[in-house]
Amino acid sequence: MSGSLITFAFSIYFPFEWALTAFFEVLNMCDIGAGLRNLGNTCYMNSVLQCLTYTAPLANYFLTCEHSKRCVKKGFCMMCLMQKHIAQVKRIAGHFKQGRQEDAHEFLRYAVDALQQACLTGYDSLDRTTTFIHQVFGGYLRSEVRCLNCSGVSDTFDQFLDLQLDIKKANSVIEALKEYVRPENLGESCYKCSKCNKMVTATKTFSIHQPPNVLTLCLNRFDVFSENKISKMVTYPEFIDIHPYTSEKSEGTINYRLYAVLVHAGNTCNSGHYYCYVQAPNSKWYKMNDDCVTPVDINTVLKLEAYLLFYIRYELLYLPCLNIVPQQQSLLTCFLETIDRIVSLENAFKINSLWINYNCVTDITVLILGVLLGAYSTVLYICN
């Protein structure tokens, strides 16, 4: 939404608290999950899916589902290390083509949007602020236009799921954030002030009005027109306080911790290779390069030419386990059933050289469980 005032959702049908089920307690037995096989220029999808998988609140959301109800085997099945294969990518974004390299950030946005739409299926009167996906990734930006003639201020607020940072003149994420919130001179006679009732000179300033629980930063490395890449090191911290970039004037901190980094190697957005680094539930970092998974240290992670950075609110890492009431379970089931219509699945999977055929369509929980719990089995995509 956009407007002079923020109107927050009266009822949240997919509350964020559902996801706070002690991610690091539930999965503290896990080391690192499986890699994902590259089927021919699918590295952009693999990298995005891995970053989403290690987004703790999102993973918890899927892990709360009773997997045994959807599994062929009765009870919990440790062998359900299945991988979704997005055989018809057009269900998420019509212009995405199999076998063609695509932009990882664009795919992330389409994937998250598809998840939001799935949340709203059957709830026509609701907007996106009610969805669980918004509770994870969503925030609000404030746009303040100030008249330099009368000092009058006009505010508008817009939802955002990530922040795109200009890095042409910035050598660090901190510098890019400072530039993001720097007042912009709109020039003479570019803004009509309602108080002055005439065109005036004004400034426009962006700030983060409501910070998200998961902060996704996109470093704009690709020129919109030439598609050429800005290849340079832009430093970023493991921990970041975004309070200086918010519209909150009082003192305080809003701390985040880095948990995933997506990297592009190449000269243009339509060529090259994507891979990522993620922090596992055991707090160790791993490089996820398609089906190759290798341990790395934090010093390596902080010296990359990052394209996408994923941060999580620091306090969310230490919240107690919550119980899911039956009514919420039914909504979770509803969510998982609707998302099946968005992501197509394969009926055949290969695990440790064993072929298993399924006549039913599973849900995205399989992806989360498969990648998180697949420490000893590389997932293999099956092409149509």
Only one residue has tokens 């009870």, namely 75
Phi, psi torsion values for 87, nearest 5 degrees:
-75, -30
* Residue 43, CA distances (Å) to 192, 214, 367 in order: 48, 23, 16
Q: How far apart are CA 309 and CA 258, in angstroms?
A: 7
C-beta atoms surrounding 127 within 10 Å: 14
Sheet strand arrangement including 202-210: 2-3, 153-160, 139-147, 202-210, 184-185
* Residue 16, CA distances (Å) to 29, 105, 117, 190, 225 in order: 24, 24, 17, 41, 38
Task: Reply yes or no on whether 43 is catalytic.
Answer: yes
Catalytic residue, candidates 51, 273, 292, 334:
273
Among candidate residues 356, 360, 317, 348, the one with its CA nearest the CA of residue 59: 317
Task: Reply yes or no on whether 321 is catalytic.
Answer: no
Catalytic residue, candidates 43, 51, 80, 119:
43
* Residue 91, CA distances (Å) to 37, 43, 45, 115 in order: 21, 18, 14, 12
Coil, helix or strand at residue 345: coil
Annotated catalytic sites, by residue?
43, 273
